[in-house]
Amino acid sequence: MENRILADAYNLKKLVREAEALADEAIIAMARLKQAMLAARQNPAVEVHTGQRALVRLTEAESHALSMSTNLLRVHDELSKVARVHAGGDEGIPTTVPPSEVEIQSARQNTPEEQVIA
């Protein structure tokens, strides 16, 4: 039974890291898209307001992606706690996520700017 627990733990560790990396890649892709959109809008033949709605929507998508990333950090933290209980023989370095990093998104959701956009 212990071998299965360790195998599951290693598989979960790999999958969590993969999910976190994909979330980061999505955020990077959106940042590149925003940069390209803003650069395209600086063309003198394009009116200054062109694409404003698309930029607002992209900013909302970025906020959701950051929220997803924060929730993945929470999942990682909870799985680390489970591992300490059920896979105690693991000699690896435990994952620690500072509470301040996990709670940032919760605090952000209560800002007036985000309530106006919603």
Token reading at 89:
């023989």
Q: Is the distance from CB of 90 to CB of 83 less than 8 angstroms?
A: yes
Token reading at 28:
């990077």
Q: pLDDT tens digits for 18-71?
A: 999 999 999 999 999 999 999 999 999 999 999 999 999 999 999 999 999 999
Place of tokens 């033949």: 45
SS3 95: coil
pLDDT at site 116: 44
Place of tokens 């360790």: 6
d(C-alpha 103, C-alpha 51), whole Å: 32
pTM of the model: 0.69
Q: What is the 3-class SS of 41-59, one letter each residue?
A: HCCCCCCCCCCHHHHHHHH
Q: Is the distance from CB of 54 to CB of 37 less than 8 angstroms?
A: yes
